[in-house]
Amino acid sequence: MAYKGERKWRANWLIVAFGLTFAYACVLGFVLLPATASCTDHLDASLWQKYLACRPANELGDFLSGAFAPVALLWLVAAVLIQAQELRAQREELALTRQELAASREVMKEQAEQARMQAIQAQRQADFIGEQTENLKRQAEDYYREKQDRIFDEALQALHKNVVSPLGRASFKVPTAAAGTTVGSFSDYRNMEPDKAVHQMRGELQSLSASLAHLHPNQEPVIPIASIKALPDALEKFIAMKDRLSLAHQIKFDSLGLAESHAYAKSIIDMLKEPTAEKHN
């Protein structure tokens, strides 16, 4: 800072006071005292006897007080000047300290602002990394669900070819206790699209299950049981896949009625076991 390079001249009032005292002593000894009246009867006496010893006590006291009064005043002025100089130096030191504190506050403000900006930047980077992580996570989930959707579609085609198509055009007869014999057949699933064939099968399994609920206890139904028994195991694999599918394919799963077809197929198998068990008894 600018004030650090400034060097102010300061007088050393202690040396000045010593110098003035010495000068005053020289003037007193060589100028003033010789100019005063001396003892006439002691011409060969020393300076003390010549100028001081022969004087009365009151004159000696007046002489000493007059001689040393300027010295006392000189040292009093020197003390005041030294005190003033020290106070001025203290004020300058305080001013410099205030300036340094002000500069330190400015530096601290700048550092705090830089730290705040760095924190904001770090938070932005963290948010950006978080967004990128979420995007990557969503992309991974989307890719996984798309893969599961493709597997579901391929499995649905295999189900249509290997399980549903063999059931197509199979006829059934169900003798009932009240309405006589119900005769029907499954649709020709081989000429249908897999989605339509599976949906159509659900309705026909429902009708067959309803007819078997009123089966005559003493008569045997004619049902393609071998093809129906293959349905529960095949459909359970689709039920296990549902939670891994995308939302669109989950809606497709529900619209095809795969879970209902599984329940109707198991119901048909279970109801066909009951009359057999009664006959054995």
pTM (2 decimals)?
0.55
Q: Is the torsion defined by CA of 75, 77, 83, 89 positive or negative? A: negative
Query: What is the mean predicted confidence (pLDDT) over 165-182?
Result: 84
User: Is the Cβ–Cβ distance between 186 and 201 less than 8 Å?
Assistant: yes
Residue with the larger pLDDT of the pair 27 and 229: 229
CA atoms within 13 Å, Cβ hemisphere of 248: 7
Q: Which DSSP helix (H) or strand (E) runs through 181?
A: strand 181-185
State the residue for tokens 């009123």.
214
Among 266, 261, 238, 267, CA closest to 250: 238
Query: What is the mean predicted confidence (pLDDT) over 45-52?
Result: 57
User: Is the pLDDT at 37 greater than 60, yes or no?
Assistant: no
- What backbone torsions phi and psi does residue 238 show, to the nearest 5 degrees? -70, -40
Q: Output the six-digit token pair for 31.
A: 């100028």
Query: What is the mean predicted confidence (pLDDT) over 235-247?
Result: 92
| pLDDT band of 214, cuts 50, 70, 90 | confident
